[in-house]
Homo-oligomer: A and B are copies of this chain.
Amino acid sequence: MRFEIDFLNLKFRAAASEAVSFRVCETAVSEKSKESSELSALDLLKQQDRESAKRALAARLFRNGVKQEDPVDLSYQVREGERVEPITPESGEALEIYRHSTAHLLAAAVLDLFPGTKLGIGPALLDDPKGGFYYDFQRDDGGRFTPEDLPKIEKRMKDLVKRNLEYRRCEMSKSEAEKKFAEMGEPLKCELIEEKGGDTVSCYTIEGTPFVDFCLGPHIPSTGKIKAIKLLSIAGAHWKGDESRAQMQRIYGTSFFTQEELDAWVKQKEEAERRDHRKLGPELDLFSFSDPIGPGLVLWHPNGALIRKVIEQFLDGELYRRGYGFVNTPHITQSELFHISGHLLHYRDVLYPEMKDLENEQVQYRLKPMNCPFHIQVYQSRQRSYRDLPQRFAEYGTVYRYERSGVAHGLMRARGFTQDDAHIFCTPEQLKAEIFGCLDLVDFIFRAFGFEYKTELSVQHPTDHSKYLGSDEVWEMAENALAEALNERGLHYQRMEDEAAFYGPKIDFKVVDAIKRTWQLSTIQVDFNLPERFEIEYIGSDNKPHRPIMVHRAILGSFERFFGILIEHFAGAFPPWLAPVQAIVLPISDRFNERAVAVERELRAVGHRVQTDLRSEKIGKKIHDAQLKKIPFMLVIGEREAEGNTVAVRDRVRGDTGAVPVADFSARLSELVRTRALAT
């Protein structure tokens, strides 16, 4: 059998020139498919539309009119009852296939350059700052890849692109595949086949290279389709992420459909690295983590905590104005509360382990992962009448969720974080007005930080309501209330069917930051579940008990994550209303220290956050250090300024802007703060 011989050859990878004809191999193992149709997906696409077929990377498959989950290769032999649609670069599915094929190309190039290297896995990545794909390798020669290797490998990949080599699929029985990969000296692949392979498994090769992979596909038809490639970095990795397993090296890269897209991405990546909050955090003395305390538990330093306090006070005023009442609730509770709420059932995975009560064996304590049941306890502390509704309880509530330690990522995914949480208890008639109030607040807050945002309304499945809790009538009322509030607010939104929480419909908000990245922040969720579980009530005008509707909402999400995003959004250069130090007074020599301190005192007296640099350093050094701290204004004082009661104002962006009387600068700063101006 041709296939047998070819496949065996593969283990002599140095003999790469002896290409494998997988088209033939495919023919050999799937004789059946040939019976129904001689035409490939590409043949059919060409019949439909020659132009889009030319640009196709793979195909969507429909069987008896139903779209199949997995797309197929263009070489797929279409059977009776099936039809195909082209997947072109514009299609939502295209990028993953494209990058997956680029990962294969990387492996092929590596095998070319470093014969005998063993393969791990090589998936596509769609939204990862590290890259668009990676491949894990284990060098046979005991060597390690170094950054100097990347240009060489990248060049080889580009060479393979120029040769426009075919991606070829081959199917065989599981046992056969295991045998082949064992013969090739790929034990890790054998392990994967053993675990994941069905009766028939598929493999892919790239024509003219020694590369073979156990892979479901699909792939692009040939390497020539790949237009823009960049290899990015090398990282340590372990087989299956398990530290007890083989150590490997992971090469990250990315690919785009055009060089322009790649260039833009690289630029944004550099910009994102410059803004990385994990880098700026220590530089600007904003926050840290501590080994003895443990991972994911944030220490806010004075500079960071001051920004947080400014944000809290900003929210305080807005919330009070909008009729919220503040509450404070404990961080722990007897487990009983989470039995009633269902958290022990639905959220067990994120709960920190129990603490056993010291007096009573029946009692355990738990850290809270959410504030909702606590706010319900406040609601239930007295009888409520319809006249008391809506009740809006707000809390900056610190919750603890046990994230696996690998998942922790600076402030973006901490284990302890403080939500700007609120719960609204209202009658069904009040729901729309409450949602409207929330939308208004979200808009107001986001604008204050200079964020654009996108809105999504998640509703239940149009027909299948089996996984959703609550009557159709109530769902319809709530979904309508949310949609009407969005419409009346004039907000464009995407309607997401079957994306609601099981307990009710919701609105999600994604902010777009200064470098166009999106971050999910706010959520407004209607909840039909907890009011039932806790049997909460209000006495209606009919003097009978009724069940209120509960709305969960958070604007910033958590202070930790929001702060991380904010640091990156502003690249650490916070606008004056947020900056921990708004201005620093810089005397040009010790002679003006006294005057400098007097200016600081004058500005502090009206509430400005001001420091003075009294070090015996040259003014150039003082300015340089203040720039590093990203302080909005530097107030330089020399002979002329001291005599004239002025300060020479240096803006961190625009540089020197001339001397003004101290009172004028003070008034200008007050105005910038009052209006929460985003620029100086």
Contact = CB atoms under 8 A, between A and B. Distances in A.
Contacts of A293: 330, 333-334, 337, 374, 377
A292 B337 contact: yes
Interface string A76-111: 000000000000000000000000000000000000
Given A299-B329, A330-B416, 19 more contacts: A282-B381, A290-B381, A292-B333, A293-B334, A293-B337, A297-B330, A297-B333, A301-B378, A305-B328, A306-B326, A309-B326, A313-B313, A328-B418, A331-B398, A331-B400, A352-B355, A353-B355, A359-B404, A359-B405
A381 B299 contact: yes
Interface string A347-365: 0000011111111000101
Contact of A305 (B294, B327, B337, B355): B327
A665 interface: no
Contact of A301 (B336, B359, B381): B381
Contacts of A292: 333-334, 336-337, 340, 377
A308 interface: yes
Nearest to A330: B297
Interface in A379-421: 380-382, 387, 393, 398, 400, 402, 404-405, 416, 418
Given A325-B306, A329-B299, A332-B416, A288 B378 contact: yes
A449 interface: no
Most chain B CB neighbours (cut-off 10 Å) among A328, A331, A387, A400: A328
A519 interface: no
A395 B355 CA distance: 26
A28 B355 CA distance: 60
A303 B325 CA distance: 8
A338 B292 CA distance: 9
A508 interface: no
A316 interface: yes
B316 A299 contact: no
A447 to B, nearest CB: 21
B355 A327 contact: no
Contacts of A301: 325, 327, 378, 381
A655 to B, nearest CB: 28
Interface string A597-615: 0000000100000000001
Interface in A133-152: none
A291 B337 CA distance: 9
Contacts of A416: 330-332
Interface in A644-667: none
A348 to B, nearest CB: 11
Interface string A300-316: 11110110110001001
A305 B326 contact: yes
A609 to B, nearest CB: 8
A191 interface: no
Contacts of A387: 615
B326 A365 contact: no
A316 B312 CA distance: 12
A285 interface: yes
20 contacts: A285-B382, A288-B381, A290-B380, A290-B381, A291-B336, A292-B337, A292-B340, A293-B330, A298-B328, A298-B330, A299-B327, A299-B330, A299-B378, A299-B381, A300-B329, A309-B316, A331-B398, A332-B352, A353-B358, A355-B355
A229 interface: no
A285 B379 CA distance: 11
A327 B302 contact: yes
A231 to B, nearest CB: 33
Interface of A: 282, 285, 288, 290-294, 297-303, 305-306, 308-309, 313, 316, 321, 325-334, 336-337, 340, 352-359, 363, 365, 367, 374, 377-378, 380-382, 387, 393, 398, 400, 402, 404-405, 416, 418, 604, 615
A290 B336 CA distance: 11
Contacts of A308: 328
A355 B358 contact: no
A317 to B, nearest CB: 8
B302 A393 contact: yes
B325 A305 contact: yes
Nearest to A325: B302
| Chain A contact residues: helix, strand, loop or mixed | mixed
A638 to B, nearest CB: 23
Contacts of A359: 404-405
Contacts of A288: 377-378, 381
A376 to B, nearest CB: 9
A460 to B, nearest CB: 30
B298 A367 contact: no
Nearest to A402: B358
Given A299-B374, A374-B299, A332 B405 contact: no
Nearest to A405: B359
A369 B378 CA distance: 25
Contacts of A604: 321
A566 to B, nearest CB: 15
Contacts of A282: 381-382
Contacts of A325: 301-303, 305-306
Contacts of A291: 336
A419 to B, nearest CB: 14
Nearest to A609: B320
Contacts of A300: 326-329
A180 to B, nearest CB: 38
Nearest to A382: B285
Given A300-B327, A332-B416, A290 B353 contact: no
A306 B305 CA distance: 21
A479 to B, nearest CB: 30
Contact of A354 (B302, B340, B355, B357): B355
A378 B290 CA distance: 8
A377 B290 contact: yes
Contacts of A305: 325-328
Given A305-B325, A327-B300, A381-B290, A352 B367 contact: no
A404 to B, nearest CB: 7
A344 to B, nearest CB: 12
Contacts of A333: 292-294, 297
A328 B367 CA distance: 18
